[in-house]
Amino acid sequence: MKDLKKAKKGVTVKTPAKVNLMLAVHGLREDGFHDLTSLVAPLDFADALTVQALESGPDQLTCSMPGIPVDGSNLVLKAAVAFRAVTGSSRHYKFQLEKRIPSGAGLGGGSSNAAGALVAMNQLEGAPLNNEALRGVAADLGSDCPLFIEPQICLMRGRGDQIEAAPKVLVASLTGQPIFLFKPGFGVSTAWAYGALKSANPSAYTKTAVVQSCLRGDLRALIFNSFEEVVGHKYRAIGTLLNDLRARGLVCGMSGSGSCCFVLPGSSALKQKDLKPIIESAWGDSVFFVETALD
């Protein structure tokens, strides 16, 4: 994981958000998960997690953002339990999470935090696990978690646990691209979103041929999300705003199962002062909005 630093007491790691530039859900698997293909890019926008070893248990977690659970339901504490189970370590840890990434957004914040915890604990213990083993532990925590062990622009397949390098030309064209993120004052449940796709089967699922078309196209053709129609049907504010932005000629989409959306200005001269008023006029002035870059 990038930007892992030794702190005075412990290790601090940057845990980035991600954006799904392309997300195609193909159908339900026999194991109950969904088959998907996604082009994922980590962002410069990130949380910071400091991890310290404790003399005795239990594990401890504090978070700077109100409303984030700090009990055993948090993926960071689940990561500590999983790390001990795999390594046989009896060590416990104190986690201090400086949180910027909103929850329920489709930006992978919780998954990134968990992966960061695994990477930091592994360093504190002398690196008993290589990155492949860390990805295996991460996969048991959640489908998005493995991609954050070594964050990079990549393709995710399977249920999200199969990670492969994206085409080099595509990576070169996307790396460093500015991106605007914006989220309404509500989240979207990932479980609900997958259930909505399943209920709309087969029309809501995306054929694999669409993936190749997206990857061969320009930036506008690349942006695709199987969830956008079902999410937009229930949460009309999302679909209405994205349609308005596209009518203005902007390249935009929704990340994950929502509710966070994005605009890629590409080579245009679009500035935050031009875009933010449009978002606020649709979603109110309390909207989450940040300008960052594909990392």
The architecture that CATH gives domain 4-165 is 2-Layer Sandwich (3.30)
Q: Is the pLDDT of residue 277 over 80?
A: yes
Report the pLDDT value the prediction gives residue 5, as an integer from 0 to 100: 64
Report the pLDDT value the prediction gives residue 9, as an integer from 0 to 100: 73
The overall average pLDDT reported for the chain is 93
Q: Is 18 annotated in the active site?
A: yes
pLDDT in tens, 26-53: 998 998 889 999 999 999 999 999 999 9
Q: Is 144 annotated in the active site?
A: yes
Sequence-ordered strand ranges (E) for the chain: 4-7, 10-28, 34-54, 60-63, 92-98, 154-157, 162-165, 178-183, 224-225, 251-254, 261-264, 288-293
pLDDT in tens, 103-137: 889 999 999 999 999 999 999 999 999 999 999 99
Task: From the candidates 18, 78, 99, 183, give the one annotated as an active-site residue.
Answer: 18
Considering only 98-107, 150-159, 164-173, 194-203, which range has the smallest mean pLDDT? 194-203
pTM over 0.75: yes
Domain ranges in the chain are 4-165, 168-293
As a whole number, mean pLDDT of residues 54-58 equals 92
Report the pLDDT value the prediction gives residue 113, as an integer from 0 to 100: 98
190, two tokens = 């990932």
Residue 7 pairs with which residues in a beta bridge? 10
Q: Is the pLDDT of residue 206 over 70?
A: yes
Q: Does the domain made of 168-293 have the CATH classification 3.30.70.890?
A: yes
Task: From the candidates 47, 59, 144, 295, give the one annotated as an active-site residue.
Answer: 144
Phi-psi region of 185 (alpha: psi -120 to 50; beta: other; left: phi over 0): alpha
Report the pLDDT value the prediction gives residue 6, as an integer from 0 to 100: 62
CB within 8 Å of 267: residues ≥ 6 apart = none
